[in-house]
Amino acid sequence: MDSKWENVKNSTDIRGVVIKNSERDVNLIDSMISSIAKAFVLLLSRKKNRDLSKLKISIGMDSRITSESIKEILISEIKKLGCTVMDCGLCSTPAMFMSTIFENYKSDGAIEITASHLPYYYNGFKFFTNKGGFDKEDINELLDIAQNEKVCTVQKLGAIIKCDLMKDYSNFLINKIIDGIDDKEHRLKPLENFKIVVDAGNGAGGFFVEKVLNQLGADTNGSQFIEPDGTFPNHIPNPEKKEAMDSLKKAVLENKADIGIIFDTDVDRAAIVDSYGREINRNLLIALTSAIVLEEHPGSIIVTDSVTSNGLKKFIEKRGGIHHRFKRGYRNVINEAIKFNNESRECHFAIETSGHAALKENYFLDDGAYLVCKILIKMARLKNDSNGKLSDLISDLDSPCESKEYRMKIKFNDFKEYGSNILDNLKDYVKSINGWGIEPENYEGIKVNCNKENGDGWFLLRLSLHEAVMPLNIESDSQGGVEFIVPKLIKYLMKYDKLDLSSIIDRQ
């Protein structure tokens, strides 16, 4: 595959720079977008074994400033192939998948124009059929078609149908909440006694205020950054970023809200802040949702990525669940959960620490809004049944004494080979350190357990799935444990002059 196509390949989706800026040149140009559109249709025709003219394809977009013009390119190219195009306008990524499921849509395939949480000058695509999102192999095949195959247009153009998908998707969520809370006294307004603030970060998640929460009676005064604005003027919509979570925390406390909700740009991730101003994301979010799932499905396997805490494992097992750590990457944890179910091993929940959460009851779709609905149902039922709070569900979660993540850039063209060498040689270095041992059950990078006298925890060094970066996660159950581990690692890593250690050295 040519480098221009490799450069926009992002594992299970496509992302590239579409606006020239001081940091990056444009690498996803209009002609490539046209080829991608035609390649998706051709690939879909083969997967479905249907003529191009029989295909129905839905297209939606997030709030990025380039999304509208890219959408017009997609529509133009796809209708030239005779396909029916359903123009869904501003949409969340999960809603686009649901356009392949809802009876009044039943599209053969769906495209969401988004680059998730990346800066405004990026854009890209996520692809769906009714079997779920594209995997890495699907993206490789699509780009191979885009690069190598010519697709002929047809004489009769396909029809374009304007759709209000977000209205239908919102009604789906509303019914989920009404049925889940099952409040006989306040059947249609089960959230009218709750104050809920939402931070959409000017992404596609603002719909959740007007089209869902307000319809259910919630007081949403204090919600912020609801209007779509693809320059993201307030903060990047990313629940993993401190700036974003601090912004939501401030809104919750100032408005005395029962709960705060934050979405990423295209709403396939979410996090919350409780009424005390405590962030519930990462391990806490996994624990909260696991507690809910295990009440409904005792003994379920819970699949997470590799950087979850030891305390979380104990929390899940205490509730009768089975914690299975797997690779980073939301498609990895989702596919692992699907594999378990195919093997007749019950798994009802898969989640990446970043907030991509997928439930078996919802097609194993990573859907931030659906996850939030699940949490709101539990919040309302706790209050109605015993005046309880969500925080009660995770009060016994043991958090590590210290937890840090560092992201070290690799300044080398073939960063994957360079990073792989660092990981391979780390194995020998670990053997030379007393009290350190490599974790045998690990699916990516190198995970090292450190005994009580030599760090009292663990660290995981891995190569990023998408960037020229090596993330390092460290967890310790003792004060000063991270400071004990880091210098020993720096001593090893300093041998690699193309690895930028400033992020770790500057924080010492």
Task: Compute the distance between CA of residue 448 and CA of residue 474 in angstroms, rounded to an integer.
Answer: 10
Domain boundary among 143, 163, 183: 163
**CB distance 282 to 245 below 8 Å:** no
Share of the chain above pLDDT 70, in %: 99
Q: Are both 369 and 432 inside the same structural domain?
A: no
pLDDT digits (tens, 9 = 90+) for 157-167: 999 999 999 99
Q: Are both 248 and 295 inside the same structural domain?
A: yes
Task: Compute the distance between CA of residue 357 and CA of residue 96 in angstroms, rounded to an integer.
Answer: 16
Q: Are both 296 and 225 inside the same structural domain?
A: yes
CATH number of the structural domain spanning residue 446: 3.30.310.50
Q: Are both 373 and 453 inside the same structural domain?
A: no
Q: Are both 113 and 206 inside the same structural domain?
A: no
Give the pLDDT confidence score for residue 6 in this predicted structure.
92
**CB distance 154 to 219 below 8 Å:** no
Q: Are both 173 and 213 inside the same structural domain?
A: yes
Please check the confidence at residue 441 and state whether its pLDDT lies above 90: no
Domain boundary among 128, 163, 198: 163
- pTM, 2 dp: 0.93
Please check the confidence at residue 426 and state whether its pLDDT lies above 90: yes
Q: Are both 203 and 284 inside the same structural domain?
A: yes
pLDDT digits (tens, 9 = 90+) for 86-125: 999 999 999 999 999 999 999 999 999 999 989 999 999 9
Domain boundary among 163, 186, 221: 163
Residue at 345: amino acid letter: R
| Per-residue confidence band for 175, with pLDDT thresholds at 50, 70 and 90 | very high
Q: Are both 235 and 279 inside the same structural domain?
A: yes
Give the pLDDT confidence score for residue 153 in this predicted structure.
73
Please check the confidence at residue 48 and state whether its pLDDT lies above 70: yes
**CB distance 208 to 200 below 8 Å:** yes
Token pair in block for residue 384: 């109605």
Q: How many domains does the chain have?
A: 3
Q: Are both 240 and 381 inside the same structural domain?
A: yes
Antiparallel, parallel or unpaired: β 322-325 and 301-304: parallel
Please check the confidence at residue 185 and state whether its pLDDT lies above 90: no
Q: Are both 135 and 192 inside the same structural domain?
A: no
Q: Are both 145 and 254 inside the same structural domain?
A: no
In sequence order, the 6+-apart residues with CB closer than 8 A to the CB of 483 are: 508
Task: Compute the distance between CA of residue 411 and CA of residue 7 in angstroms, rounded to an integer.
Answer: 16
Task: Compute the distance between CA of residue 191 and CA of residue 373 in angstroms, rounded to an integer.
Answer: 11
Please check the confidence at residue 507 and state whether its pLDDT lies above 70: no
**CB distance 134 to 60 below 8 Å:** no
**Full domain range(s) for residue 315:** 169-394
E-only strand ranges, 312-463 = 322-325, 347-351, 357-359, 365-366, 402-409, 436-438, 446-450, 457-461
CA 125 to chain CA centroid, Å, is 14
CATH number of the structural domain spanning residue 51: 3.40.120.10
Q: Are both 154 and 193 inside the same structural domain?
A: no
